[in-house]
Amino acid sequence: MANFVPVRKEQHQNLKLASKRDLAHVAGQHIVSLTAAEYAQASASFPVVLVKNPDSPRYRSVAMLGLEAGENLYYKDDKWSALSLPQSVGMAPFALGLDPDKENTLTACVDIDSTLVAEDKELALFEADGKESELLANVQNSLGRLYENEKMTENFIKELEENDLLQELELNIDLSNGEKKKLTGIFTVNEDKVKTLADDKVLDFHKRGLFVPIYAMLGSLGQINRLVQLRNLTSNAPITSIQIAPLAKEEVQEGVAES
C-alpha cells in the first residue's frame, strides 16, 4: 500500500528520487485512472471505459490493462509494451493530496514507502539551501495539469450522465478449459443515442470538443481484442472467445472494476 505524505522541506530536505524509474507499482493493476484529455492517444493501446461499483454513484475513467483483478498485460519482464503511458502511472511516486496545514488546499505528496525515493537516490527534491529543486517544481506543475484534466474528466462524465449517453457493457469470456467468466460494471458511450442528439446539442458538443473523447472511447473498445491476444501469449487457459454486449437493465450487476 502507498504511504503518501505532503512534501515538506523540514522532513524531506535530503529525500531524493531515483534517476532510473520503473513501473513495478502497476504490475498487478488491471485498471488505471485515465483523463479524457488522454483518450485519443490511449485508444490506440487500451480499452478506455468508465467503471462503477453497484453500490457507488461515482464513475471512474480508466484504461483497462487486464481482464481480471491483478492482471496487467502491458507490463511484463520490467517492460511497458503499450504505445502510451497514462499520466497517473507516470507520476508515481507523487500524487496530489490535501494539505493538513491549509484547509481545502491540495499539495504535492510523495509515497515515502516507494522504492523510487530514499536519501541515497540521485535526484534531489530540495537544493542544499533548502529551495525546491527544478525537479520538484516540474512535479508540482505536472500534478497541477493532472488535477485540471481530472476536473475536466469529471465534467465530461457529468455531461454523458445528464444526456443519458452511458450504457453498461457485459463481457462474456470463454476459456479453453471450459470455464466461463462474465464482467460487468464497465460503461461506455451509447453510440445510438449519440446519433439521435438534437441538432443544437450536437453543435454544442462539437464546439466544446466533446466528440473527440466520445469517439475515442468508442473506438478503443477494439483494444479488448488486444487484451485477449496478450493474455493468450502466456495463459495456461487461453481465451477461446469473448463477446461484448450491452447489459440488459434488468440484469443484476456483478461489478468489475475497482482496483
Contacts of 239 (CB under 8 A, 6+ apart): 67, 173, 174, 175, 176, 228, 231, 232
Over residues 158-171, the mean pLDDT reads 96
Residue 173 has pLDDT above 60, yes or no: yes
Residue 258 grid coordinates: 475497482
DSSP code of residue 252: P
pTM of full prediction above 0.75: yes
Name the amino acid, one letter, at 108: A
- What is the four-CA torsion angle of 232, 87, 26, 54, rounded to 10 degrees? -80
pLDDT single digits (tens) 182-228? 998 999 999 999 999 999 999 999 999 999 999 999 999 999 999 99
Q: How confident is the model at residue 20 (pLDDT cuts 50, 70, 90)?
A: confident
pLDDT single digits (tens) 116-138? 999 999 999 999 888 999 999 99
In contact, 153 and 225? CB cutoff 8 Å: no
Contacts of 13 (CB under 8 A, 6+ apart): 126, 130
